[in-house]
Structure 1
């Protein structure tokens, strides 16, 4: 049996709502398209909806962790070095180095809650030495 769906939304839960919304507002360079103070924010860009929500108090313990998330938000950028500089200026420098994969160059970074961001620049030229 196949189910029907109309849209895809990636949602991040956080008990640090204001901090995470502020981070993504600065990283994405846009205000949320939907904002319910201290409860829900949603960003819309390039065919993806990114929601950030504060769980109900009865569920907060599920989301209070210092462990790294298993989800990665991959952001394709046109200039990887500029994206790294932007995150660094916001106080969230990527902890590692740029790596080269078959699909391009990338680096891992993390949001204030430890969710992994992958900044990715597609291959436009050969990166071989």
Structure 2
């Protein structure tokens, strides 16, 4: 099987709030926007879609605070990325940790989805 593209989507019942968070975080408007239905951001080769599930499916997409999925955002300067996130009003839990692949810090979007801000060595 040949795949043409793979992208990540986030379901939310708080559509406007989450879309506005990612507009501010990514410092760009959605590439595609259907108000109160779907927003799509293009970041390098990744497509990030945010959609509002139909009402009869909302319970299927309830926020799971123990999700193993993380949206990892690789940045050039971790301190600048942290300052930008804090300027948007999102305090970061914990401290910067050092891993074999670089430095990183965990945070969460308004729906509780895990974000990892990562700077390579």
Quickly name the TM-score band, shorter chain normalised: over 0.9
In 2, are the aligned partners of 1:68 and 1:115 still within 8 Å (CA)? Answer: no
Please name the residue that 2:97 is paired with.
Answer: 99
Q: Does 1:42 align with 2:37?
A: no
Which of 39, 51, 54 is the aligned partner of 1:53? 51
Please name the residue that 1:73 is paired with.
Answer: 71
Which structure has the larger Rg? Answer: 1
- Aligned-residue RMSD, C-alpha: 1.0
| Structure-2-length-normalised TM-score | 0.95
Aligned-partner Cα distance in 1 for 2:73–2:65:
21
Structure 1 unaligned spans of 5+: 124-129
How many residue pairs match? The answer is 121
Which of 79, 82, 85 is the aligned partner of 2:83? 85
| Structure-1-length-normalised TM-score | 0.90
Which of 113, 116, 119 is the aligned partner of 2:117? 119
How far 1:12 moved relative to its partner?
Answer: 0.4
